[in-house]
Structure 1
């Protein structure tokens, strides 16, 4: 088995543009589909992701031993730190979120996006339109863009990001305008040679929680001014695989 090391460098942190209500069940990727994300710039150090269980003990008289057992699960608080930029929209959003008692959605996009792939593709005029890309090997929700030497069918615009809706077979798939959205219908006419190109995305971690601290850290002469943020997760983490 080959060695695989995933560096933290290249990762990005995002906060949703509006607060959300935390559901009383575990969240899924679909709960974040409508979120408008704001990247928090100048990311310096990343907090930990994932759950842990509350540790509990019971003292067993007959065994003269303390027995450990797992209790409630939680995602412990995380610390994400940014080189201070008072005009950065994401940092402004984190400071504003700290001043409220609301929960916000968060996304951490990790390093590890696949290599961009590109190939000549054909597109049917149909409901829905079907893209043929020989041996595409793409999964549902993979982002793709199109360019052309002529004109794409009505319903598609060159340079716009679309998503693989349904993989029909090894060579064909349909498209949607958003992840999990309605399949796109193509109409009109088309011309020229079309090229499809993936828009790779790295693995993601999605969760909801509250910003409990957004402190400006200073330090000594050789320290950068920092925005040190503490986030209290109030949901599970959703692990989204890399796509591309």
Structure 2
């Protein structure tokens, strides 16, 4: 009897030990992500989890606010900013490593009702609207890009003095201002309009400002040196830079390096 039990028992013990080992090796990392990259990050995260067996959690917000959290000790493993200056600051301070540009964002002017696709320049010049939404230029690179587009046309100071600019804390809040109709038009990320689950998918009017009217929105990422799972972080960043990650990034309206 004992002989007949040894093999199944050994197999059960081996299976249990392998399961325990696999469980022990699985890790969860937390990544700070610029708000404009929300949908792309979520799709990338799901694809990477399925491939790697690890888990990733995201904390979305304005790049400047996320940087402040990191500098104040927030337990993030990696940081995806909407610019390159902030992650490079972390590298210079010794708090991050392996900087790379993961995407180049594109600014879009969107309105549910105003035909900005046909008359953007005239609509901006006339100012016949109550509010124009834009992200905070000090916290969000898309907000700075919007400011630059308006300044090139001599409109930024005029609209700011007139109280016509509805400033969002992040590009996500800015998008909400426009999609809810609280602002008649606004500068958003093209990626937000490419989201198939967007409340305005297939609706409204869009104008793409000339790329030369604003500084390139190069978005940089880094691994944070405080991470307790550096190998897992490296695997995630490698996935982002690979063909599968690049395809998802392009799908959401970004240029890829």
Return the TM-score normalized by structure 1: 0.27
Return the TM-score normalized by structure 2: 0.26
Structure with the largest fraction of strand = 1
